[in-house]
Amino acid sequence: MSSTGRGLFGGLFDRGAAGTGDAAWLQAMLDTEAALARAVERAGLAPSGAGAAVTEAARAGAFDPDELGRQAVAAGNPVPALVRALTEAVPGPAAVAVHQGATSQDIIDTAAVLMARRALEGVGADLAAAADAAAGLAAAHQDTIMIGRTLLQQAVPVTFGLVAAGWMSAIDEAADGLNRVRGQRLAVQLGGAAGTLAPLGDQAPAVRVLLAEELGLACPVLPWHTDRLRVTELAAALAGACGVLGKMARDVTLLAQSEVAEVREGTPGAGASSAMPHKRNPVAAVVILGCTKQAPGLLATLAGAAEQEHQRAAGAWHAEWQPLASLLRLTGSAAAWAAELLAGLEVDAGRMRANLDAAGGLPLAESVVAVLAPGLGRLAAHDLVADASGVATRTGRSLGEVLSSPDLAARVEAAGVTSEQIGAALDPAAHLGSAAVFTRHALAAHRGRGTMAP
């Protein structure tokens, strides 16, 4: 997407379709007011045509967010100023339908829910695209052998297909979490001053149901002014998605290091350094991390704000607005970057194999122990291979060379093991465990979601 009009950092941290700026907030509040006007008209509490009149006036372009912001200081939020301006914009008797029975929190909470729903639609599309791209990598590289790394050290062989399948599966699960929140936990807010909706009389329950229908949102059992579980569930799902995307991006930065060079980002022209012409930086991965590393702090703020007093909070509710909008925006940006990164990721299978071979067979030490154990016993086999591995590390020879040296060859032969068996034990392709099966199962699960993966 274009970053035009988004400021200096908008192209980086506001890349996705999750609009959460002033215009999005304002239109969501106006949409809530318009839907409430239609609901009270349907309940017989406003004249015929009032809902349509308010809806016609409720266009964000007709209002000045800067002026509303200036007036917000008097009430602690922008809703009173917006209600005044909207009422003045609605002709004649229809104005009675504006904000009827509601309080400021009803409008802002429902607007936040509407904004979240709209943002999650864009986030979901980008997550699906990212997962599809990861699925393409997994399918193409089911047999591409590379070294697995644990605690940042070489461990045992894996396949890049399994690595990409791990990214794919995690992204799919993160999308599922967001879809659950979007489908089940986004609810209308309408409770009036203290959750009783007294101004609407015996029509209050009906108006709540009608408002939910107008907006296509769930109607909760009770107003949730100081029950912020819905907000924290949304925030947790967003932070979880950020965690998944950040893990993938961190893997890419590590695999793209000059000394590793097993993957590179494929976006043409991207990655230039201002000082070092030779560099090709993993820009997308870096910006994803720039987005996702902000998520834990935002989640903590929203979780901390969930403790709210009595029927209406003193400050904790206000503390939610910007962190929630930022978390939606940053998750959307990270998802959009991830879709681009994974779609263009270049994989160097030759370099992966070279890095594995450079370890001189040490990552296969465990399989050599398994071959020697029947003849020597498990502990003796382990000690033999540990000694051989130490020699290989100190001398720069391969594990196979050390095991075939005069010092150790006799011990290997005493175990009844041939050099051919040692060679087979040191073949990475023969020791990938269930990597291929796991990758196929993950791809099948992904395809079952109805995505476009191969």
Q: What is the pLDDT of residues 247-292, one digit of tens each?
A: 999 999 999 999 999 999 986 555 544 444 445 789 999 999 999 9
* pLDDT value of position 450: 61
Contact between residue 162 and residue 104 where contact means Cβ atoms under 8 Å apart: no
* pLDDT value of position 288: 97
**Which pLDDT tens digit goes with each residue over 232-251?**
999 999 999 999 999 999 99
Alpha helices (H) along 219-277: 229-255
Class of 10-350 in CATH: mainly alpha
Listing DSSP states for 102-139 in one string gives --HHHHHHHHHHHHHHHHHHHHHHHHHHHHHHHHHHHH
Contact between residue 171 and residue 127 where contact means Cβ atoms under 8 Å apart: yes
* pLDDT value of position 277: 46
Under 8 Å CB-to-CB from 136, ≥6 apart: which residues?
453, 454
* pLDDT value of position 267: 67
The residues assigned a catalytic role are: 273, 312
Give the integer Cα–Cα distance in Å for 60 and 62.
5
* pLDDT value of position 276: 43
Helix 283-292 to helix 229-255 angle, to the nearest 10 degrees? 150
Phi, psi of 346 (to 5 degrees): -100, 130
Give the integer Cα–Cα distance in Å for 382 and 370.
9
Listing DSSP states for 82-105 in one string gives HHHHHHHHS-GGGGGGTTTT--HH
What tokens appear for 226 in the block? Answer: 């100081």
Going by C-alpha positions, the residue among 130, 181, 161, 178 that lies closest to residue 451 is 130
Give the integer Cα–Cα distance in Å for 436 and 280.
32
Class of 362-425 in CATH: mainly alpha
Where the chain has pLDDT below 50, the residues are 1-4, 272-278, 451-454
* pLDDT value of position 278: 47
* pLDDT value of position 19: 81
> Domain limits of the chain?
10-350, 362-425
Angle subtended at Cα 327 by Cα 323 and Cα 329, rounded to the nearest 5 degrees: 115
Distance of CA 218 to the CA centre of its chain: 24
